[in-house]
Amino acid sequence: MPKPLPMLTWLLIALTGALAVATIAIHRGEQINAIWLVVAAGCTYAIGYRFYSKFISAKVLALDEQRATPSERLENGRDFVPTNKWVVFGHHFAAIAGPGPLVGPVLAAQFGYLPGTLWILTGAVFGGCVQDFVILLFSIRRDGKSLTEMAREEIGPLGGLVAYLAVISIIVILLGVCALVVVNALKSSPWGTFTITMTIPIALLMGIYLRRLRPGKVLETSALGFVLVMLAIWGGQWISQTPSLARCFTLSASTLAMVIILYGFAASALPVWLLLAPRDYLSTFVKLGTIGLLAAGIIVLHPTLHMPALTRFVDGSGPVFAGNVFPFAFITIACGAISGFHSLIASGTTPKLIRNEKEARLVGYGAMLAESMVAIMATIAACVLQPGIYFAINSPAGIVGQSPEAAANTISNWGFPVHALDMQALAQAVGEQTLYNRTGGAPAFAVGMAHIFSNSLGGHSLMAIWYHFAIMFEALFILTVLDAGTRVGRFMVQDALGHVLRPLGRTSWYPSILATSALIVGAWGYFLWQGVKDPLGGINSLWPLFGISNQLLAIVALCVATTIVIKMGRSRYAPVTLAPLAWLVAVTFTASWHKIFDADVRIGFLAHARQLVASHGNARLIFNDRLDAAVTGILVFMIALILIESAIAWLQVLSGRKEARVKESPFVATRFAAEQE
């Protein structure tokens, strides 16, 4: 019989959560406090973790604490290491938390705070957490195999091929979009550009310190690097106020794009580990610290949200990106709700560290809840801004007009008052020349974060420092994603080409390194260049493309998961993975249809291309539209193939025409359980 006290506690949590969700959902025309979002999220996550993940553990996956995990059976002190569950939790969270949960919710805030918040809460509890949890567990039961290997073994060779191509595609598109976010954050910003430039000598210094003076003392070195970065931020202010120096660091979007492309190539092709490894550590250090700081700031200061629950742009006419709330809100926010990319991490390093199967619940389900909370914080950071300011920062010049007065007029006419003088004052307060047309989400997030902190820590005088701290933090870890992603993509291409021509598969053969690095960098560099040259700011075209490809990868992961659940003889519980799969199919296929065929030129790639043809527009822009349409179409076609192949496998197993045999490693009893007894 259930105990009354825990029952009452959970009832109280459920009622509080319901009250918070009702408050954020029902309020119209009044500003609400950000703490309601935090309470709604906290209660929803607590209920989801306590009840839904426990149900999945017991009924769907039948976690077995007596079964040895690969970290125990294959322990080698390098990849396979039995590790404390909280340590793995932190490790996994650090790997899955990137710029996505910060940027996506900021962009989706154009619909108001409500659609994004509801999607983040439900998407995480029923989709993202489930995906991460089941893929982690299935990888554990297969000696830490990757998603593509599991897709090949459990679904079929076509599944494996499609998974591989989906992973490569998402990496290329992701890197292009991430680079665009950095370009838009740093263009014409001498302060930001100087700070990020300084991270290179700082990282080199860290590398020398780490190798020569204090070998292996990474934490100490990272703390030192952090102090130097803070000095660089402080110094950036002086640079930006010294005209002769400011000119050197005031770069156009095109120049920044070229620099980032060259950086990506160098990071992949040259032996620059003295730079990359310390920068990676520094980025993680800053990332974890900033997320913690932002969480504390929001809870302590509990700011008021100025953005309404719903804006007029739910009809699809939004300036940040075009498209209706369904399906575009659901592909704009991927990380934070459900992200296919997480399945690569959940079937990468993490399964090789888990000490006991039971701990997969905390790591897989729990870490995704933490990531989802980061997305809620990003929503808050965007929505504490006055809507007029939010739209002025995030709208491209092609929509609101080139001059500050024209932009302010356009945005005010939408019902979100903003004055050119106020924008000028805000830009001065954060140490920028202008904040108009800073699309990509990062500047709006940085202004929101600076706004939250400047209300208490240091007051208005430190607003510029907070803004540039946030820009540095985002740019630093986006650049880390960029160099890590380029190398991962390079290895994947080399592995594949090795089957065609053996020398190309040798990861230490320099011609192969140069060729494959150029291939990967050329691919994402093209998308970056396309975004930089796009008169609508690039984000309107590329972020949905990224969202679609990321969610399509989640479809692959959920196909693998559903296939394994059915083969395990637990088909009655298949809706646990089938329901988010069906939702994602509906969302991504609808979004893809709109992006390719919609007659609205701001949404449909082909319609935009036709308009450009009719007006004798730029041939490159026409080609880009057609390329984006083709990429979207090919991705959807590939995912349709894996869906069909999976469905055939499910029907064959369910009808008894095919033996339900999962490719798990054989059961070995754990010795840890005996030790605990």
Which residues contact other proteins by CB under 8 A?
A: 77-79, 81, 83-91, 94-100, 171, 174, 178, 210-212, 215-219, 222, 273, 277, 280-281, 284-285, 288, 334-335, 339, 341-342, 344-345, 348-349, 480-481, 484-485, 487-488, 491, 507, 546, 550
Q: How far apart are the first and last CA of the chain?
A: 26
Nearer to other proteins, 168 or 640 (CB): 168
Nearer to other proteins, 210 or 418 (CB): 210
Closest distance of CB 85 from other proteins, Å = 8
Cα 206 from Cα 335, distance rounded (Å): 31
Nearer to other proteins, 440 or 485 (CB): 485
Query: Which residue(s) pair with 33 in the sheet?
Result: 304
Residue 590 CB: number of other CB atoms within 10 A? 16
Nearer to other proteins, 85 or 608 (CB): 85
CB 376 within 8 A of CB 443: no
Closest distance of CB 94 from other proteins, Å = 5
Closest distance of CB 271 from other proteins, Å = 9
Closest distance of CB 96 from other proteins, Å = 5
Classify 65 as helix, strand or coil: coil
**Can you read off the two tokens belonging to residue 391?**
């739209």
Nearer to other proteins, 454 or 480 (CB): 480
Closest distance of CB 553 from other proteins, Å = 11
Closest distance of CB 100 from other proteins, Å = 4
CB 335 within 8 A of CB 546: no
Nearer to other proteins, 60 or 333 (CB): 333
Spatial CB neighbours of 96, under 8 Å, sequence gap ≥ 6: 132, 335, 339, 341, 342, 345, 367, 368, 371
Nearer to other proteins, 101 or 396 (CB): 101
Cα 389 from Cα 78, distance rounded (Å): 50
Closest distance of CB 165 from other proteins, Å = 16
What DSSP string runs through 334-351? -TTT--TTHHHHHTTTGG
Closest distance of CB 662 from other proteins, Å = 26
Nearer to other proteins, 444 or 481 (CB): 481
Nearer to other proteins, 90 or 401 (CB): 90
Nearer to other proteins, 219 or 231 (CB): 219
CB 452 within 8 A of CB 381: yes
CB 225 within 8 A of CB 278: yes
**Can you read off the two tokens belonging to residue 431?**
């140490």
Cα 105 from Cα 232, distance rounded (Å): 29
Closest distance of CB 502 from other proteins, Å = 18
Nearer to other proteins, 597 or 672 (CB): 672
The dihedral region occupied by 29, where left means phi > 0, alpha psi between -120 and 50, and beta the remainder, is left
Cα 347 from Cα 144, distance rounded (Å): 6
Cα 405 from Cα 397, distance rounded (Å): 12
Closest distance of CB 429 from other proteins, Å = 30
Give the Å distances, CA to CA, from 432 to 17, 189, 246, 425, 464. Answer: 40, 6, 11, 10, 8
Spatial CB neighbours of 282, under 8 Å, sequence gap ≥ 6: 199, 202, 203, 206, 222, 225, 226, 229, 476
Closest distance of CB 544 from other proteins, Å = 14
